[in-house]
Amino acid sequence: MSQRGGRGFMRGRGGGGGSYGRGRGGRGYSSSSAHHSQGSGRGGEGGGRGGAGGRGRHPPHLKGREIGLWYAKEQVRLYGKKEDKETRPKIELSPSKRAKITELLASLERHSKASIAGAGAINNSDFMKRYRQNVENNVNAAAIRAGLRPGDIAGLVRNAELDESLKNELERKQSSPKYQTMMRFREKLPAYQHKDEFLKLMRENQVIVISGETGCGKTTQCCQLILDEMIQSGNGSLCNIVCTQPRRISAVTVAERVAEERDEQIGRNSVGYSIRLESRVPERDKGTILFCTTGVVFKYLIDDPKLTKYSHVVVDEIHERDVLSDFLITILKDLVNLRPDLKVILMSATLNADKFSNYFRHCSRFNIPGFTFPVTEYFMEDVLLQTRFTFEPNERLQRPWRGKNPRKGEDQEFKRMLESHVRKLERDKTYPRHVLNELIKPEAEELNLDLITSLLLHICETDRDNGAILIFVPGWDQISKLNTQLQSCGKFPGHRTLIIPLHSMMPTVNQKEVFNRPPGGRRKIIIATNIAETSITIDDIVYVIDAGRIKITNFDMQRNLETLDTEWVSMANATQRKGRAGRVQAGICYHLYSKARENTFESFKKPEILRKRLEEVVLQIKTLNLGMTGPFLRKLLDPPPSKSVELAVQRLIQLHALDSDENLTPLGFHLSQLPMDPQTGKMILMAGIFGCVDPILSIAASLSFKDPFYIPLGQEKNVDRVRRELADGSKSDHLIIVRAIEGYQRARSHNRERDFCYSNFLSGNTVQLLMNMKKQFAEHLHQMDYMSTAIVEDGEHNVNSDNIGIVKAIICAGLYPNIATVTVKVKMNGSLGLAKIRTREDGKVDLHPKSVNCNENNFESGYLAYFQKMKTSSLFLYDTTMITPFPLIFFGGQLSFRKEKHLGVVSVDQNLEFLMEKDVFDLVQALRKHLDELLEEKITNPGPTCWHELSKEGALMRAIIELITAEYKEMLGEGGSGDSDSDDD
């Protein structure tokens, strides 16, 4: 570790050995208040007590044990006994800064008095009008749902002239050759063949549950059957159908398919779609079908709590049990009592349709038989037999488990089951010995991309008809690795195969490629996650390769941790995956797990509401004003635990998205409009206000999806080296992402992006996805008026993007209260020990080995902001950024002050403490008060920040930025470098 002044945490560029001294360094921090206990650097006038030579080093004549004793005495002399050692940083302002802030505060007070008369402009801003309208609408919604004001909002109104027009248009269309061709196809679908039974049931019931296997046509046909009957019966003006889909790709592709079947252009006549940041809604406002994501319906509920614009609400794929679908059917269960004219159709796979019927008071059910060719299933035993694949030994799997294994009992039970299964196969002589030898290996339970490659080669060699292949893997990592492996191995040339990755985060235009049949006899190979299980139908799939894994979000309430785990699929998942094959001919499904493993599968995965954080759900409840969170969530099909609800509400109060009475704040209203978790949403709003949009959107995209690095086997140290180089001493995993994307963009401008990705272990596909997400986020900021354009790189919104201190402060503002403290002890020989990391709720935690801060012990500041905390072999913080005290003071929680000995102690949320003189605290608190007022004004009156120094906004923002920037630079040494001072005395 460098012994120069300025690098060690809180050592102070002017301090000598211990107490604060301004000396040459201006403002400094006492090393005793920090977690590095050795003073170093130049001792200025007024510098504290230095060690030998002002460096804290032992005298050169001492040897052996004498050196250790000298350091032990020095520790006590400088810092007192261990239990008395001060661990809180001291914050002090130089006289010049005090004078400057005092002058600024006086100016701000004058600005405040002058602007009182203009305060009405804020309250009458476009946003506040929308916000007040939302509150008013939601109050009405609460009353309506309580049954206090039924029937006072008009629904669809009959228009006889339009009814006749729609009827004539449909009759003319029926003579169109293309329409007739499509009708011949539709008439073959089971859903169409059962239309009379379905429509009779629809007429006689307000709520029905439609179940049907893959390929029955329920998604495309039911809405059309309703619309056509309404139009033909002269009621077209009283029919508007909204059909929800759990994913963007399914909303768009189903809408396009239905428009094609109706011989229409999408968005012109009766069919349209609406998804996040993209919509093509029908030009006419009655006699329509609108396909949309479930989240879009919640936008409609804000302005129209009774959904009066719609006559029919169809909720598709409800068996997936995602949060928004469960949430929506709970609202609809109340709404049907208040709107007897509203028809609700719930569409599910046959898996658990009875549960939904029972939830709606045993409403009617209608099952549509499937329409698929037979699918032959093969398991791992068969795959090994057909490919003659052998597993390479994996040392990790051969090693005995160290420590407590939470799954030890399950693993032993499965091992017994597998051994019994293999013995039976051996007795029956079903498979040769080499297959059974491979099946019993622990490697057979792992996801093996080489096995998938071998199986693909086997399919291509044995089937020359070029049937399309769909491969299910758990997540983007496996999609990216397998895609790279297939493209680079030389056995799947582009003129014979078309390999298409499919993931929910890909742009819609890329996703739609999977539906096109490749020309020239090429074989289509799709690598997908569970997005392809139920939401979409790819007609030409003949082969399915099911890796048997799925990415699942889980929430540990005791630890307040959300984790993303790879688990075995459920039987319901496996059934859906198998059903993707056999749409055009007899199909084949290869399951990459043994029949013994399948016997351990649960029937269904737990509903998402029971295994994820609830902050976004709570914001939706508050945006719709559905009452107190707890009572509403208890009405759900599967209510979440009360502790999970309490944790979510408390987190939103800490973020200032809710007040202490659980009322939605203007900030909370903004956050509810963003398609991300509230902390990341707050971060990008603050980026818009503080002018650092480009880097923060890179960070937000990565936090919302994943970082773009991959780690090849055996290259772990090289990846760590690259990450350290990209961090450039910033001690920030988040800034690594910023620099990786910036480097990619520079390389791309010279057509060298592939080389850049290769040398930096980056997935080019992931980087491109992150850049696309940045554009989407910028669109949101633009729509919310925080950016005057939707261009991420616009200079107006990036005036502070090169200011690392400010970028880190905005990271802190978004991630707070996710703050960990760092302590580093100095050994008797003067070297630094390992850093110890603690959080308020967990005590000791560890930094994940992937973090650039993992093996760091030279922290200039003792605070780390983190986004994700996950329990595996230990409790890890996965991505961290070192931050300085001022961001915590300006963007943290409630400040309090108490007198202690000769100094005061400032506390943030009764948790993080700093030493500060009372007059300094008064100045800082006054600045914080003005900043809070400004942020509230920017939230209630969105618009680009005015940086003019003569404006109140500009003056305050510049002062805050100057303080944070100066603190960051001084902590690292003048000019942001920790090596600016020489070593001479």
| Domain shared by 526 and 448, yes or no | yes
| Domain shared by 283 and 415, yes or no | no
Q: Is the pLDDT of residue 87 over 90?
A: no
| Domain shared by 326 and 380, yes or no | no
Contact (CB, 8 A) for 533 and 576 = yes
Contact (CB, 8 A) for 854 and 938 = no
Please report which confidence band the pLDDT of residue 299 belongs to, taking 50, 70 and 90 as the band edges.
confident
For the beta carbon of residue 966, count every other beta carbon within 10 angstroms: 17
- Per-residue pLDDT of 826-879, as tens digits, reads 776 667 778 899 998 888 999 998 899 998 888 889 999 999 887 767 888 989
SS3 at position 565:
strand
Query: Is 754 a member of any domain?
Result: no
Bond from prior residue into 817 cis (ω within 30 degrees of 0): yes
Q: List phi, psi (to 5°) of 964.
A: -65, -40
More confident residue, 534 or 654: 654
Nearby residues of 872 by Cβ (< 8 Å), 6 or more positions away = none
| Domain shared by 341 and 422, yes or no | no
| Domain shared by 326 and 188, yes or no | yes
Token pair for residue 331? 């609202």
**How many CA atoms lie less than 13 Å away from 552 in the CB half-sphere?**
22
Percent of the chain past pLDDT 90, that is, above it, reads 48
Bond from prior residue into 432 cis (ω within 30 degrees of 0): no
Nearby residues of 56 by Cβ (< 8 Å), 6 or more positions away = 17, 38, 39, 40, 50, 74, 78, 830
| Dist CA 436 CA 634 (whole Å) | 50
| Domain shared by 342 and 456, yes or no | no
| Dist CA 21 CA 821 (whole Å) | 24
* Residue 877, amino acid: L
Q: Is the pLDDT of residue 50 over 70?
A: no
| Domain shared by 186 and 332, yes or no | yes
Nearby residues of 174 by Cβ (< 8 Å), 6 or more positions away = 180, 183
- Per-residue pLDDT of 373-388, as tens digits, reads 889 999 999 999 999 9
Nearby residues of 874 by Cβ (< 8 Å), 6 or more positions away = 845, 846
From 594, 609, 624, the end of a domain falls on 609
Which range has the worst mean pLDDT, 233-237, 583-587, 593-597, 598-602? Answer: 583-587
| Dist CA 125 CA 131 (whole Å) | 10
* Residue 125, amino acid: S
| Dist CA 529 CA 547 (whole Å) | 10
| Domain shared by 966 and 873, yes or no | yes
| Dist CA 562 CA 763 (whole Å) | 25
Please report which confidence band the pLDDT of residue 655 belongs to, taking 50, 70 and 90 as the band edges.
confident
User: Which range, 509-518, 957-966, 972-981, has the best average confidence (pLDDT)?
Assistant: 957-966
| Domain shared by 383 and 250, yes or no | no
Contact (CB, 8 A) for 875 and 904 = no
Query: Is 695 a member of any domain?
Result: no
From 609, 625, 656, the end of a domain falls on 609
SS3 at position 185:
helix
Which range has the worst mean pLDDT, 148-152, 230-234, 529-533, 671-675? Answer: 148-152
| Domain shared by 380 and 342, yes or no | no
pTM, two decimals, is 0.76
Question: In the chain, what is the straight-line distance between the N-terminal and C-terminal CA atoms, in Å?
Answer: 19
Query: Is 273 a member of any domain?
Result: yes
Q: Is the pLDDT of residue 559 over 80?
A: no
What pLDDT, on a 0 to 100 scale, did the predictor assign at position 433?
Answer: 93
For the beta carbon of residue 405, count every other beta carbon within 10 angstroms: 12
CA dihedral 952, 958, 961, 965 (to 10 degrees): -160
SS3 at position 131:
helix
* Inter-CA distances, 810 with 268, 800, 891, 892, Å: 44, 11, 8, 11
Cα 456 to chain center, whole Å? 33
Query: Is 500 a member of any domain?
Result: yes
The residue written with tokens 């390999």 in the block is 499
CATH of the domain at 278: 3.40.50.300
Average pLDDT, the chain: 82
What pLDDT, on a 0 to 100 scale, did the predictor assign at position 5?
Answer: 33
Token pair for residue 429? 């002589």
Question: By residue range, what is the domain housing residue 854?
Answer: 23-94+816-976
| Dist CA 731 CA 857 (whole Å) | 11
| Domain shared by 577 and 492, yes or no | yes
| Domain shared by 961 and 919, yes or no | yes
Query: Is 735 a member of any domain?
Result: no
Contact (CB, 8 A) for 658 and 622 = yes
- Per-residue pLDDT of 6-43, as tens digits, reads 323 232 333 333 332 333 333 333 333 333 333 333 33
Quote the number of domains for the chain: 3
Query: Is 122 a member of any domain?
Result: no
Please report which confidence band the pLDDT of residue 213 belongs to, taking 50, 70 and 90 as the band edges.
confident
| Dist CA 408 CA 416 (whole Å) | 12
Query: Is 198 a member of any domain?
Result: yes
Cα 667 to chain center, whole Å? 19
Query: Is 281 a member of any domain?
Result: yes
Measured at the CA of 26, the angle between CA 21 and CA 30, to 5 degrees, comes to 35
Token pair for residue 214? 């893959």
| Dist CA 775 CA 766 (whole Å) | 14
From 593, 609, 625, the end of a domain falls on 609
Taking each helix axis from N to C end, the angle separating 615-623 and 678-690, rounded to the nearest 10 degrees, works out to 70
